[in-house]
Structure 1
Amino acid sequence: MKTLVHSAIAAAGLLLGAGVACAASETPVGSWKQVDDVTGMAKSIIQISEDHGELQGKIVQLMNLTPEEIAQDGAHPLCGKCEGERKDQPIEGMVIMWGVKRDSDVWTGGKILDPKSGSVYKVKLSLSDGGQKLHVRGYIGLSLLGRSQTWVRQE
């Protein structure tokens, strides 16, 4: 009888753990490797968090800086083209996405900053590949006019 109870508890724990893992893959919350849509190179690690139903994304690490970028901006570039409070602030640690809310199976309504150009765009997020890929669409006006990147979930 004891082994049956222990087995039931162990099975319940496994199911609960699987449910938590499944739920985590159904949301953009987590760490993502940003892959540049032009070069195909990983450019940064972005941590997406949720606060009061809104997502925000912060650059936690820059990657694969070219020798030209390092010569121009140093190993820890600043957002020289940004405006307002982000002007000349370190890109690492900067919140570049904010105000994004879930709308069915997409997340939208927020903004995303391109630190390279200093431009701010509307943003739309959608998950694919069992929650392992995040399609990020930055646009002005209509979603048809913009650019997309696919970010890859980090373990």
Structure 2
Amino acid sequence: MRKILTTALLALPLLAASLGASAADAAVGRWKTIDDKTGKVKSIVEIYPTTNGSLAGKVVEVLSSDRGPNPVCDKCDGERKNKPVKGMVILWGLKADGANEWAGGTILDPANGKTYKSKMELQAGGQKLDVSGCIAFICRAQTWQKE
């Protein structure tokens, strides 16, 4: 009996880790970002797990831009200044915050170079992702679609 109890206690952390991983796996993948005004697909963002257990996202394709086919982040500061938007990490530091929810991250808007506190929530059986960015109490949200 003692051996069974010890085995069960040792297996508990593994079970908890696998449940956390499966929740993050739901958001991992390629997502279509949608233009708020036109409703057209603007880009493809790939969300991936990082080594510290958080989620991050980078632009893997720019499909529509008012700044040409290969836009750069000319309004960004620091290391992102004048770098191509394609390949740029625009979402980072998101940690699980409940079932199918992540918070505590940062999102960059390459159009204006500003960063915002970010959170996201999986919707519609995993086919839509509500992504929001906030400064103080002013927030902007988008719904991304699974590719």
- Coarse TM-score class (shorter-chain normalised): 0.7 to 0.9
CA RMSD across the alignment? 1.6
What does residue 56 of structure 1 align with?
56
Q: TM-score, normalised by structure 1?
A: 0.75
In the alignment, what sits opposite 1:81? 75
> Match for residue 42 of structure 1?
41
Partner of 1:15: none
Look up the match of 1:4: none
Q: What CA distance in whole angstroms lies between the structure 1 residues aligned with 2:25 and 2:91?
A: 19
Which runs of at least 4 in structure 1 moved beyond 2 Å after TM superposition? 23-27
Alignment partner, residue 140 of structure 2: 147
Contact persistence 1:47–1:60 (CA under 8 A)? yes
Q: Match of 1:28?
A: 27
2:8 match: none
C-alpha deviation, 1:39, in angstroms: 2.1
Aligned to 1:129: 124
**Rg larger for:** 1
Find the partner of 1:108 among 103, 106, 112. 103
**Could you give the per-residue CA deviations for residues 108-136 of structure 1, whole angstroms, max 9, x where no partner exists?**
00100000000100111001110000000
1:92 matches 2:86: yes
Q: 1:61 to 1:104 in 2, by over 3 A?
A: same
**Do the aligned partners of 1:58 and 1:93 also contact (CA within 8 Å) in 2?**
yes
Find the aligned partners of 2:25 and 2:72 in 1 and give their Cα distance: 33
C-alpha separation between the residues in 1 aligned to 2:106 and 2:92? 6
What's the CA shift for 1:24?
Answer: 7.5
Q: Any unmatched runs of 5+ in structure 1?
A: 1-22
Could you say what secondary structure the match of 1:78 adopts?
coil
Instruction: Count residues with an aligned counterpart.
Output: 124
State the Cα distance separating 1:55 from its structure 2 match: 0.4
Distance 2:104 2:42 in 1: 24
Q: Percent identity?
A: 48
1:43-101 CA distances to partner (integer Å, 9 max, x unpaired)? 000000001310000000001234xx22xxxx211100000110010100000000010
Please give the alpha-carbon distance, in whole angstroms, between the structure 2 residues aligned to 1:80 and 1:128: 33
